[in-house]
Amino acid sequence: MGDRSEVTIIGAGIIGLATAAALLERGHAVTVIDRDEPGSGTSRGNAAGIAWTDVAPLASPGIWRKAPGWLLDPLGPLTIRPSYALSILPWMLRFVQASRPAAWRRSIGAIAALNAAALPAWERLWRESGTLNRVKREGCLDVFDKPAEIARAQAGWQLQRDHGIEVRELSGPELRDMEPDLGPTVAGGAFLPGWVQVDDPHGMCLDLAAHVRARGGTIERGEVAAITRCSQGVVLRMREGPVRRAPHVVLACGAWSRRLAAGIGEDVPLDTERGYNITVPDPGVSFRRFIMLAGYGFVLSPLAKGLRIGGAVEFGGLEAAPDWRRVDALVARAGKVVPKLDATTGERWMGFRPSLPDSLPVISPSRRVPGLIHAFGHAHHGLTQAAVTGDLVAALIAGEQPAIDLAPYAVDRF
């Protein structure tokens, strides 16, 4: 094994915390730096799924059949704010390239490889951190209310089966037998029994932060303004306070990673998919399982604190104020398949999914700064891929061969 040395992690979201836990388990001295409290950013409000059963990227040959209709609806599942259209254009052009069949197949292989290792990595981390009490193993339902959408979904279900994932197709009545609060319009779908979720993603972050501290790790408040290299490792110039140095640094601050990477000459096409949700403490309905409504672009996630209704993609950057009408639109769509739903009260939230055009994260040594490891851009799979990302980063720092080929996730692949 390589040296057991000091590692500084930029970012105390789920990726940074899981990476800290993996490094501490291997004997490293770990400091995590974030400008906010642990888990208070994008990791706070995600849908809580360990979606290791996903293998298809967002960029796909079929996306173009749906995208025009979505884009015409300003509150639909996929929206570009007019003020951000020019800014997102380079990302969209790369998204078009990633949607071509050959590129799409490469992305499928890379997502499948990462997600196949995701649940085993989490199983180890849950045991090590004492957080198994947060894990729910009720599976996931894919639900549709239009027969034509069921037919289109079958190719995706077969793709999952081709990767060893169990998918059971069900009729509308069979779905309602499993979840009686689904409405009569539900026409059919599928059950994925292997899907796993946690009861509260923010709570998971807080538990991991406590675990990191208990194992001797340090979590500090501070904002990194720039990264530079030096002969002894990596230099972090802080917005306030003294310069920091460490032999190893992990860049894991999600959607905010692009600026720091660009400062060292690694201009990664990272942008943000703004996601919205509402968590309803008393929704008037009860679900045991995670429910995916792909036809409407949102999910229903039963959490310890209530039912989370969330999803959609809005490209609008990091600065624009939330458009809370998008939450109202989510609730209206949910009412079509869950007619007894009462979402008149709840906690509204908007977060920034750090996304790359090919739906793959960057898990890669920097090509410009020795000792710097990139770990960002996980998009919809941040919670899913956090533990395996931590293991892969730990292998890189130790000088070991990672468990999977990291070439598809290289920082300079674009």
What is the DSSP annotation of 264-309? TT-----EEEEEEEEEES--S---SSEEEETTTTEEEEEETTEEEE
pLDDT of residue 163: 97
CB 379 within 8 A of CB 386: no
Which amino acid would we find at residue 297? G
Here the tokens at position 32 are 């995590």
pLDDT of residue 244: 94
Write the DSSP string, 144-205: ESSHHHHHHHHHHHHHHHHTT---EEEEHHHHHHH-TTS-TT--EEEEETT-EEES-HHHHH
Q: How far apart are CA 255 and CA 273, in angstroms?
A: 9
Structural domains in the chain, sorted by start? 1-58+101-134+195-268+357-414 (3.50.50.60), 59-100+135-194+270-355 (3.30.9.10)
pLDDT of residue 27: 96
**pTM metric for this prediction:** 0.96
Q: How far apart are CA 108 and CA 76, in angstroms?
A: 26
3-state SS of 55-71?
CCCCCCCCHHHHHHHHH
Q: Any idea how long the chain is?
A: 414
Alpha-carbon torsion, ordered 94, 272, 16, 140, to 10 deg? -90
Per-residue pLDDT of the chain (414 residues; tens, 9 = 90+): 345 789 999 999 999 999 999 999 999 999 999 999 999 999 999 999 999 999 999 998 877 666 666 666 777 778 999 999 999 999 999 999 999 999 999 999 999 999 999 999 999 999 999 999 999 999 999 999 999 999 999 999 999 999 999 999 999 999 999 999 999 999 999 999 999 999 999 999 999 999 999 999 999 999 999 999 888 789 999 999 999 999 999 999 999 999 999 999 999 999 999 999 999 999 999 999 999 999 888 999 999 999 999 998 899 999 999 999 999 999 999 999 999 999 999 999 999 999 999 999 999 999 999 999 999 999 999 999 999 999 999 999 999 999 999 999 999 999
